[in-house]
Structure 1
């Protein structure tokens, strides 16, 4: 990594955008190459599940569903009761489709209820942190609509794992670390702690981890599908019969019962009324490249707003990761994230978010006028996009009261853990042109398991606010989607797929995805170089987890950052923090139209892994 960083610094000092082409960088992981398909995910076993489906003739949607199912089963920072969303490129329609399979607040979840419990925000863990499960519904809907295989076929790898698989150290150690909380929930204790009473109560790394309740639940879904097929139903109808069993049948009944037994609010009606939404994605054009994101119920538009501002700036001339480059991106992200923190929320609830104004090029030009090239602005706040859609801002009274207060840029372990909580990624592509980019999440360890289903519940309620002065668009209401960090990405160039990319780790996602994208577009890196290249991290935004803290001026850099860069950034008002790896984890597929092949990139940060053919 040190060699890579020094080469990147050389690129910065020479400000030569072609340095990566003229002097190829030796990456720690090799790039993936394939001409038939590509499967990249957050864990090796997830990529293997995708490869298994591809080898049986499945398309990229089939493979993504198998990878999602495997990731949930191995608790790759999510479970089956979490939330799923995706961007899917449909090769026949030649368009990007957005999938919203995020859960909603239960019918009993009100501001008054949580305040009566003494909460400033909904809790981080436990049954009161849960929105309705979205992952199973999202998986089954995209499989029915865009896949080719049966639910039985795509669930086979996950069901084999539920019957018993060798658990990896990361998850096993997370269970042991969180066992005190896990013991508060009887069904979680039964699943996670097979060695109760011993010094180590969690499974050991490599131990066969068995989830019989989950296996039984998945078998019920397959049984519902197979019964429907025997009755002459079509593939789609049969998959939706399984969907109905989960959300309206005996599985839903047990989820509701088990959740309420442990103090949660989810009811059978909440599950029956929930629906997957097929949406139009948001997008902007950056120097000829159309970048697509999910709507404002995610943080995805942050990257789009940032790109609108950055296209007015000569980034290449600054040099890669120079102090000027870092300062400029930091300031741009301050402005975009300040808008996120005040304006983003559920587009299906009142009030309506001012997205036309927020994504207008004219608004972006006005925002960048606020940047001080010499100093960080710790009090950068949201702007007023309403005039850019010919409307008057109904929240000027609280917009003008978005004071930062005392600035505290000190980072601590709890804040950093909350800031990067949860999420994995699934990115697939096939030779027929299908592409899927996902960042599924929710139900991470320590999760409350819903009765005898084996389903770990989401913890996404904590993303809501209870005070409209913080964000009038993201105030908790029954049936509402919390504004989340989950943000898959797709980009098209000349009307054809260019990049599919995704990243885990909470509020880090769009800031590092932005830097990855610029690594390729502005500095000519290969997709693998771009995933491994050192990035920086800002905390000058409200965390979407825990106590929603904000750390203006705090900046994480790679530990090999030269001293003269550090000194310049300190002079600009930053409080510096260093990490040995700042590269991701990012997974991506680049579409090489010259050679009609795929390039896969998977960063060297965590356990991300890919397979191509």
Structure 2
């Protein structure tokens, strides 16, 4: 297996940028060439991804960032996951006749987060000005870019719906009344004008770089951008995936009073690496807990594309994801027993549950003092599981459009050793109608909550949704560091875990690991509307071979064989202590690229 790649692993010493779209990667590396650092480059890359992959992320979406600062020597994270509105209560949503929060539309909207997160990072860690990092996005929105076939297909599938129900979206995505063709030069002049006005107003406020960025944050949350959003929401009542029309609960104070924040990462030591992930307001700790379970197996002795490896990893993931469903939530509002969930003794017991057969049960562990949460999840499993029609990935307008696609990811390292891993998402063109004049829609992240009281993921005001967004950074004591991640909703911490295990245990380099076949479980409850689970089911790429696939079926796995080269969208970048850099990007979907020298 080692040695096969579809493209070279990028190597150099100056800098590397890798993302899920070649234009964004080129823009990020261009910022490095102009003297910017990794934070400048990551911000520019992120803003361009909003333009070239609008079906996967947008300005009003969500953003977690894990970074390492060469200046401070610290590894930290930025949380730009917006919170629920002050008026978001279970009673209000139930009064609309709902038992689940819709996967689209205004009731699914939380405070927009991505824009503030990007420019907070730029202000505190970057070196360039606001215009420097936003100009590429302005240019591509104004002058156009080759429209990805996947975006064209998504728009085509939704064109009739936009015309009938979301006319403001029709005006942006079908500007001449027809869906744009794949690879045609697509423009979003309204979004270009929004960013141009925002930069111009910030520049008029002050000649100082930091003051301009602070002005832009205020303009976004309280100036003309907020005016347009809440002017629209005042009268908007729009159709969503629930089949009915609903109004938003988001108000001006929600947006004005929120800002992105810094946090410590969660970390876990595994086979000489310290792995950093997000806190349990995201699914990031699932990666760490799965490592803690897999410590008890000799993965290095297993064939990394063999049936024993696949079975062992997928069964461990099922256990960690069951604990996600029972215990994770916003730690500012719920006590999450994360120390227990990552402890050696707890996971030694969890590892004993991995047998030769595929489990068909949802099996959260029982944590002392939190028994009611494990029971609540099992009760929900009995009530809800059994309908097997869930789309395996976000976004959730899958009843109308392509099911594949979800999020974007980027990794950047500069010559000084600054490192950024970010997984922007939300604010998809499928999520909500476009705000008139702004060129972008709101997000739909509130669908992660339950309309039941007493859970860590119960809908309540000012809570962060338990998102699936989960960038990664791992480091060795000698200073070797790697940043990596992938889009994929619930699959994010599955695909990147498989890639990391092969990197650590089997010596595959960055690109070899990405070209290797992937798999994932659909066993546990989905984070996205309609929140279904598929007990015992998994998806696997055909390159594993028929013998492996049949052996897994013999163990009791219910298997869907994916189309070739269709699972996972990994990117990664690595820095050695001597300053040597490596970067790679998946060949799947033929759009992710790594750039560097």
Matches within 5 A, 1:437-476: 437-446=421-430, 447-468=432-453, 472-476=455-459
| 1:190 matched residue in structure 2 | 171
Answer whether contact 1:583 1:604 (CA < 8 A) is retained: no
RMSD of Structure 2 on Structure 1 (CA): 2.1
- Distance verdict in 2 for CA 1:530–1:239, change over 3 Å: same
- 1:170 is aligned to 150
1:420–1:507 Cα contact (<8 Å) kept: no
Corresponding residue for 2:289? 305
Aligned to 1:61: 39
Give, in angstroms, the shift of residue 396 of structure 1: 6.1
Gaps of 5+ in 1: 1-7, 9-19
Question: C-alpha displacement at 1:399, in angstroms?
Answer: 5.6
Whether the 8 Å contact between 1:442 and 1:458 is mirrored in structure 2 is yes
Question: Would the alpha carbon gap of residues 331 and 99 (structure 1) be closer, same or farther in structure 2, given more than 3 Å must change?
Answer: same
Give deviations 1:188-237, integer Å, cap 9, x for gaps. Answer: 121111121xxxx122223332322212221222123212333xxx4222
Secondary structure of the 2:524 match is coil
Aligned-pair distance for 1:402? Answer: 5.5
Distance between the aligned counterparts of 1:222 and 1:194, measured in 2? 25
CA distance in 2, matches of 1:408, 1:477: 28
**Equivalent position of 2:159 in the other structure:** 179
* 1-structure distance, mates of 2:304, 2:88: 47
| Separation in 2, partners of 1:295, 1:420 | 27
Of 107, 121, 129, 1:150 maps to 129
Tell me what 1:484 maps to.
467
1:433 maps onto 2:413 in alignment: no
Q: Residues 32-43 of structure 1 correspond to what in structure 2 (within 5 A)?
A: 32-43=10-21
How much has 1:64 moved relative to structure 2?
0.4
Q: Quick check: 1:379 aligned with 2:379? A: no
Query: How far did 1:114 drift?
Result: 1.8
Question: For the Cα contact (< 8 Å) 1:185–1:448, is it kept in 2?
Answer: yes
Measure how far apart 1:405 and its partner are: 6.2
Aligned-pair CA distance for 1:97: 0.8
1:362 Cα offset (Å) = 1.4
Give the 3 Å change call, closer, same or farther, for CA 407–203 of structure 1 in structure 2: closer
Q: What displacement does 1:131 show?
A: 1.3
* Equivalent residue, structure 2, for 1:16: none
Contact 1:439 / 1:502 at 8 angstroms: preserved in 2?
Answer: yes
- Structure 1 window deviating more from structure 2 (601-610 vs 483-492): it is 601-610
Closer, same or farther in 2 for the Cα pair 1:323/1:188, shift >3 Å?
Answer: same
Match of 2:190 in 1: 213
Taking a change above 3 Å as real, the CA distance of residues 409 and 308 of structure 1, as seen in their structure-2 partners, is: farther
Matches of 2:392 and 2:409, distance apart in 1? 23
User: Does residue 269 of the first structure (1) align with residue 253 of the second (2)?
Assistant: yes
Cα offset, 1:398, TM superposition: 3.0
Say if 1:532 and 1:584, in contact at 8 Å, map to a contact too.
Answer: no
Distance 1:186 1:309 in 2: 50
**C-alpha deviation, 1:146, in angstroms:** 0.4
Asked if 1 retains the 8 angstrom alpha-carbon contact of 2:393 and 2:488, the reply is no
What CA distance in whole angstroms lies between the structure 1 residues aligned with 2:67 and 2:394? 31
> In the alignment, does 2:211 pair up with 1:237?
yes
Distance 1:383 1:204, change over 3 A: same
**Structure 1 residues 495, 465: closer, same or farther in 2, change over 3 A?**
farther
Q: 1:404-419 counterparts in 2 under 5 A?
A: 404=382, 408=386, 418=396
By how many angstroms is 1:120 displaced? 2.3
Matches of 1:96 and 1:500, distance apart in 2: 11
Residue 51 of structure 1: how far off its partner (Å): 2.0
Q: Is the 8 A contact 2:390 2:531 kept in 1?
A: no
How far apart are residue 582 of structure 1 and its match?
5.2
Contact 1:585/1:608 (8 A) holds in 2: yes
CA distance in 2, matches of 1:356, 1:76: 37
Distance 1:392 1:46, change over 3 A: closer
* TM-score, structure 2 normalization: 0.92
| Number of positions where the alignment pairs a residue of Structure 1 with one of Structure 2 | 575
Structure 2: stretches of 5+ with no match in the other structure = 238-247, 397-402
Change beyond 3 A, Cα 1:417–1:451 = closer
Q: Give the secondary-structure state (helix, strand or coil) at the position aligned to 1:453.
A: coil
1:280 to 264, 286, 292: 264
Query: Which of 576, 592, 595 is the matching residue for 1:608?
Result: 592
